[in-house]
Amino acid sequence: MNIFQRTKLIKDKAFELGFSHVGISKAEFLEKEARNLETWLKKEYHGKMSYMENYFDFRTDPRKLVPQAKSVITFLFNYYNPQKQSDKNAPKISMYSYGNDYHKVIKKKLRNLEQFIVDNFGDISIRGFVDSAPVMDKAWAEKSGLGWIGKHSNLINKEKGSYFFIAELILDLELETDLPIKDYCGTCTKCIDACPTDAIIDPYVVDGSKCISYLTIELKEEIIPREFHGKMDNWMFGCDVCQQVCPWNKFSIPHSEPLFNPSVNLLDYTNKDWEELKEETFNQLFKHSAVKRTKFAGLKRNINFLKS
């Protein structure tokens, strides 16, 4: 089987498993991204996310994760859901967390694909990643032609927008590579103008310590800094504002993954329901959800901050 045939075989299997887009890059050192990451860290835009300082070499060179790696396969998985929370006054939850935890859902699909590749090409070194390891997923997606990194720092696909999860397989198998595409943001500044906390400090540069997603999920302090009082746009978990205003998301289409559908009654919870949320209800409601990352105390902290 030649390089073109095995590349097609892998891509076809990925589409069969439900991935929306697949792109391939040569496994190599990310020189430009390494410089940008170093600058970003020095300016402390990572806030209290100290883990971002770890494994710098692994983040910028996939061959540190998989010795002798030749290819990085990047996958996009659509999670767009046009459903909205019924109570417009209720604290808001980011769309990506409506259903089951994407880490587990996509990891299972990656394992299936890993096994498929090993079954077809022998005992090769291969590792799969879903936003839980030192891998610069957006950089690899851009490098493999799946889109460009917009001014809000999210990946934008020209055909389907930006509501995607990103995953990778790094492997020591040579495959046909894809070419990057150009940046189509142009002069648009909608995401910069709309950010409630002014976290997009320059085009393509986000101060993570000001991002609502960081404040509601990553920040583990007992109290959210008072400087953000009145600026949270009623978000209690994550934030979708920069994606909601992006013109490219007019091309988004609803996902087809049943496990990403909202938990029972989640979108029907009223403002009063959230204010009176008990730990038992939290555990039941978010049993399989990424929202568990905040734990009950964290989500209550967020809700109370919005009401203070």
Q: What are phi and psi of 191, to 5 degrees?
A: -65, -40
Q: Is 73 exposed, middle or buried (0-12, 13-18, 19+ CB in 10 A)?
A: buried
Distance CA 144, CA 166 (A): 12
How far CA 101 is from CA of 109, 139, 165, in Å, comes to 13, 23, 11
Identity of the amino acid at 217:
I
At a CB cut-off of 8 Å and minimum separation 6, what does 304 contact? Answer: none
Q: At what angle do helices 3-16 and 102-121 cross, to 10 degrees?
A: 150
Quick check: 228 and 301 in contact, CB under 8 A? no
At a CB cut-off of 8 Å and minimum separation 6, what does 272 contact? Answer: none
Please list the active-site residues: 131
* Tokens 């049943």, residue located: 258
Rg for the chain, CA atoms, rounded: 20
Other C-beta atoms lying within 10 Å of the C-beta of residue 202: 9
